[in-house]
Structure formats: C-alpha cells, structure tokens
Amino acid sequence: MGEKLVEIRDLHIGYRTFEGYTRVLNGVNCYVDKGEKVSIVGETGCGKTTTVKAILKILVRQARIYGGEIFFDGKDVLKMGKAEINLMRGAGISMIFQDPMLALNPVFTVGSQINAVIRYSGEPGAEKKEVQKELAVKALRETSLPDPERILQSYPFQLSGGMRQRICIAMAMATPRKLVIADEPTTNLDVTIQDQVLKILKSRVEEKQSSLILITHSLGVARETADRIYVMYAGTMVETARTGDIFKRQLHPYSQALMSCIPKLSGGGVAEGIPGRIPGYLNPPPGCRFAPRCPRAMEKCRREQPPLVTVDDGHAAACFLYGAGD
Ligand SMILES: Nc1ncnc2c1ncn2[C@@H]1O[C@H](COP(=O)(O)OP(=O)(O)OP(=O)(O)O)[C@@H](O)[C@H]1O
Ligand code: SF4
Ligand SMILES: [Mg+2]
C-alpha cells in the first residue's frame, strides 16, 4: 500500500435550500495514494463534485459541512488557515472543470490566464514574465497544442472546444502539482476528441508523478484512465477496487447494476432491471440509501447504514451482504 495523499473520513455535507437543509454526502470515506490515479464513478447528482470541491474548500456558501475530516498531504484541510489554503490551491492541487468555457475567462487572453496560474504556483522565478511565458509555452507543447505562441495571444472563443479543454489541462499541469482533479473533463467534447484529451491527461499526470482524481459517468473512461475506482451512490462510496478487479467482479448491487448498463449511465436511470432513482436529499431513507431499489434488500438495510468494509485484498464494499452484518 502506498502513502496517502488525500484521505476523506466520514464526510457529511448538505446544502441550504428553500425547502430546508439537505443531506447529500452521507459519510464519504475514500483516499488517494501518492502517484495513484483514482476515478469516482456515479450517476448524476450522487455527490461527486461536492466531494472534490470539499477537498479544495471551494464549496458554495449554501453548503454545510455536518461532520468529517479531509486530509491533504497529512494536513487537516478543514482546519487550515487562509495562507495554507492558498498554498494548497496554488502549489498542491489543480482542478480541471467540466466546462472549459466556464473555466476560462472570456475577456482575457489564454496567455494572461496561464501566466496568472503560474505566478501563484510558488515555483522559483514564477513572478518573472519570462519564466511564465517559458512555462506556458512548454505546457501547451506538452498537451500537443500546435503553435503555442499564437494560442497564448488568443481569446478562448477563438479556439475549439477540444483546444480549450487541452488548454485547461496545460494550465493545470504547467507547474508541478501533487494532485490533479479532473471533473468530467471530456463530457462536452466530441467522442473522437474525448479519447485524445484523456490520453493527454493521463500521460501528463504519469510523467509528473502527480496523483489524479478523475470524475466520470463513464465506466469506460474510468477503465482507460484509473488504477482504482470508487463507485459512488447517493452520497456514499459504495465500492472500491483496483480497476481490473472491479471489472472482473462487482460486490455491491448498485455496481452490478452500473456494469450491466454502461451506455445508459448518463441518462439518469441506472439499469433497466432496477426501477427508481436516487433518493431525494431532504429526507433520504435511513439505513442503506440504495435499499428502496435494491433487489436484495433485507430488513436491516432499511434501519442501518452499512459501513465500507474490505472484503478482499483492496476490494471493499458498503453492503450488508458482505461481512458487515450480524
Ligand atoms: N448549490 C447547491 N445548492 C443546493 N443543492 C446543491 C447545490 N450544489 C449541488 N447540490 C445538490 O447536491 C447533490 C449532489 O450534487 P453534485 O454536483 O455533487 O453531484 P454530481 O455527482 O457531481 O452530479 P453530476 O454528475 O450531475 O455533476 C445534487 O442533488 C445537487 O442538486
Ligand atoms: S446493504 Fe442491503 S439494501 Fe444496501 S446494497 Fe446491500 S443488500 Fe442492498
Ligand atoms: Mg458534478
């Protein structure tokens, strides 16, 4: 087992809404080792973005952290002061967002935006314009973008979606980071470009020996990219295993459902065989949140929440069918 870079323990988060406070994250437990590439897979609304935004402390004002701990490189993120947070965001973690048009500011050139990221990275000499330019050109080259000099002077709207997303990757990787978080980085791209962008992301992360958290709806994308997968359902990590292992055998009934409907995942439903949808977060069911749609639910599942327990070497599930019962 490696050394942990990120560790989240029993994290509970909800949001203030017109109807009241919601309970979205329901005891999230997960970790990422140094140099490890992890993917979080789950259908829309299950809390993937909430989880990674909590690591960076960039949750919206309406968000409430009810409990839990988040460690980044041994430090408790929820107890960090402003200076430590800035250091973590500037030099420790970078995030690639789902929509590159939102991530890039339309009124500034690509060059000035990459330079700003480099300036706050804490890299030696990063305050100098020449160093910023040199690192920016190098980063664009490394993401296979042609004519970096011209791109630096362009505005985001002058570039294609695929180019903009590669610029976001270049920006995230222009200076060394311990962790790169990519939140559905290819969802808005053509299928042919998706593959290219993922390959670039993966190879850049490997070269820089960074850790990666890749959020995706697609098990296929996770399989191509990650060493280990977390399956998330309604605010909980319900299963984790090395990528090869989870494709061979899924323990949790929800993971089994996911596997049986790979192409349907982004549509909101899970599997044809399992009716229903993610429960509402204002009054979620007690016990296992999958119980209302689980074909194997038992009495106990409706009362108690199953903990995430290791079933096999590195393979864990949060389900009373495996060892956690009785
Ligand atoms: N600002 C907010 N106010 C109220 N509820 C929110 C807010 N942001 C997110 N939520 C709710 O929290 C739940 C989880 O949202 P989150 O964005 O973390 O899910 P996700 O797994 O990233 O989904 P997607 O795959 O669609 O991006 C959803 O029900 C969502 O409606
Ligand atoms: S704990 Fe019970 S309801 Fe939840 S997934 Fe396992 S069997 Fe189904
Ligand atoms: Mg999301």
Angle (nearest 5°) at CA 186 between 61 and 114: 70
Global pTM? 0.93
User: What's the pLDDT score for residue 136?
Assistant: 95
* Residue 79 CB contacts under 8 Å (≥ 6 apart), including other chains: none
C-alpha 25 – ligand 1 centre gap (Å): 10
Q: Is the CB of 310 under 6 A from ligand 1?
A: no
Quick one: the chain helix, strand, coil %, rounded to 5? 40, 25, 40
- DSSP for 47-59? SHHHHHHHHHT--
Atom nearest to 289 CA in ligand 2: 4
Q: Is the CB of 297 under 6 A from ligand 2?
A: yes
Nearest-CA residue for atom 9 of ligand 1: 50
User: What's the pLDDT score for residue 5?
Assistant: 97
Q: Encode the chain (326 residues) as per-residue pLDDT tens digits.
A: 689 999 999 999 999 999 999 999 999 999 999 999 999 999 889 999 999 999 999 999 999 999 999 999 999 999 999 999 999 998 899 999 877 677 899 999 999 999 999 998 888 899 999 999 999 999 999 888 889 999 999 999 999 888 898 899 999 989 889 999 999 988 777 788 888 889 989 998 999 899 999 999 888 899 999 999 999 999 999 999 999 999 999 999 999 988 887 554 454 455 454 667 888 999 999 999 999 999 999 999 999 999 999 999 999 999 999 974 44
Which one of 8, 22, 97 would you pick to mutate in the ligand 1 pocket, going by the greatest count of ligand atoms within 8 A of its CB?
22
User: What's the pLDDT score for residue 122?
Assistant: 81
Q: Is the dihedral of CA 86, 88, 93, 98 positive or negative?
A: negative
Nearest-CA residue for atom 7 of ligand 2: 297
C-alpha 279 – ligand 2 centre gap (Å): 14
Q: Is the CB of 30 under 6 A from ligand 2?
A: no
Domains of the chain and any CATH numbers = 4-317 (3.40.50.300)
Contacts made by residues 202-209, CB under 8 angstroms, sequence distance 24+: 202/37, 204/142, 204/143, 204/169, 204/173, 205/37, 205/173, 205/180, 206/37, 208/173, 208/176, 208/177, 209/35
What is the DSSP pairing of strand 315-317 with strand 179-183? unpaired
C-alpha 123 – ligand 3 centre gap (Å): 30
Q: Is the CB of 15 under 6 A from ligand 1?
A: yes
Which one of 30, 43, 48 would you pick to mutate in the ligand 1 pocket, going by the greatest count of ligand atoms within 8 A of its CB?
48
CA atoms within 13 A on the CB side of 139: 29
Hunting for tokens 């996911």 — which residue is that?
A: 258
Distance CA 165, CA 189 (A): 9
User: What's the pLDDT score for residue 278?
Assistant: 85
* Residue 117 CB contacts under 8 Å (≥ 6 apart), including other chains: 94, 171, 174, 175
Distance CA 144, CA 195 (A): 14
Q: Are 163 and 100 contacting, i.e. CB atoms less than 8 angstroms apart?
A: no
* Residue 241 CB contacts under 8 Å (≥ 6 apart), including other chains: 228, 229, 312, 314, 315, 316
